[in-house]
């Protein structure tokens, strides 16, 4: 199976699905990542371009990612980018990776780039309906990204409502934390949601919800079974 994680910024992929990515890779599936703002120029305490590229490479290797494709869309300015440009970039990645299952941001996330990534991804995954020669999409899932998804304060929008739980086990959670720690300046001290304790606690809580030993939670919003 070919899996694709579509995110706005480096580290979002690990925060949202790092343990699941590791589990899927260990099971022999192809796991690929699309990062729309690979340079994140507006990020506070951002390392140099070479350092960020190294961080991304080290993180991906820990999780067993096959390929990372990055764009150069402006950080925290996706609202200034034509929607079609984002959609067409993601479509090209879907074609290149032969994606069958796609994970992306929840559209109610506080972060503006997460919203526009989600909207563009929702449009892009329909590509198989116009291009019958392409690998058909099997499922689209929204992720929860700690420090963004829980800050969805606009109650006029539907909040993240998990309905799919993937048991990952403690080793996968530990690898997720190790992969995230490769990104300089991203981890924080507890009780920040990007701390070791909070990330492991969230996995334990999601696992407890579903009777599993550590889990990551997702909202499946489109699924085809043939």
pLDDT in tens, 182-202: 999 899 999 999 999 999 999
Please state, rounded to an integer, the average pLDDT across all residues of the chain. Answer: 95
**Distance in angstroms (rounded) separating the CA atoms of residues 102 and 180:** 21
Grade residue 44 by pLDDT with cuts at 50, 70 and 90. Answer: low
Name the residue among 164, 157, 150 with its Cα closest to residue 219: 164
Domain ranges of the chain: 2-223
**Distance in angstroms (rounded) separating the CA atoms of residues 213 and 184:** 29
Q: Are the C-beta atoms of residues 176 and 14 closer than 8 Å to each other?
A: yes
Q: Are the C-beta atoms of residues 141 and 106 closer than 8 Å to each other?
A: no
Q: 34-48, 70-84, 114-128 — which is least confidently predicted? A: 34-48
- Given this model, what pLDDT does residue 49 score? 85
Grade residue 144 by pLDDT with cuts at 50, 70 and 90. Answer: very high
Across the chain, how many H-helices and E-strands are there? 7, 7
Average pLDDT of 8-31? 98
Grade residue 80 by pLDDT with cuts at 50, 70 and 90. Answer: very high
Q: What is the pTM of this model?
A: 0.96
**Residue 25: which H helix or E strand, with range?**
helix 12-26
The second-level CATH assignment, the architecture, of 2-223 is 3-Layer(aba) Sandwich (3.40)
């Amino acid at each position: 199976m070919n899996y694709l994680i579509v995110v706005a910024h480096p580290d979002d992929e690990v925060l949202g699905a790092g343990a699941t990515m590791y589990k899927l890779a260990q099971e022999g599936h192809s796991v690929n990542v699309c990062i729309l703002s690979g340079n994140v120029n507006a990020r506070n305490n951002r390392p140099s371009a070479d350092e960020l590229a190294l961080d991304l490479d080290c993180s991906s290797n820990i999780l067993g990612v096959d390929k990372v494709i990055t764009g150069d869309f402006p950080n925290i300015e996706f609202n200034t980018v034509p929607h079609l440009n984002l959609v067409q970039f993601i479509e090209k990645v879907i074609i290149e990776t032969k994606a069958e299952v796609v994970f992306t941001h929840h559209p109610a996330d506080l972060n503006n780039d997460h919203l526009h990534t989600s909207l563009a991804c929702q449009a892009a995954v329909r590509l198989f309906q116009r291009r019958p020669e392409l690998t058909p999409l099997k499922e689209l899932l929204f992720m929860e990204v700690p420090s963004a998804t829980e800050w969805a304060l606009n109650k006029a929008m539907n909040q993240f409502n998990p309905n799919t739980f993937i048991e990952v086990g403690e080793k996968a959670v530990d690898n997720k934390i190790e992969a995230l720690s490769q990104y300089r300046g991203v981890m924080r001290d507890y009780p920040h949601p990007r701390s070791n304790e909070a990330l492991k606690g969230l996995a334990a809580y999601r696992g407890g919800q579903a009777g599993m030993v550590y889990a990551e939670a997702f909202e499946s919003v489109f699924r085809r079974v043939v």
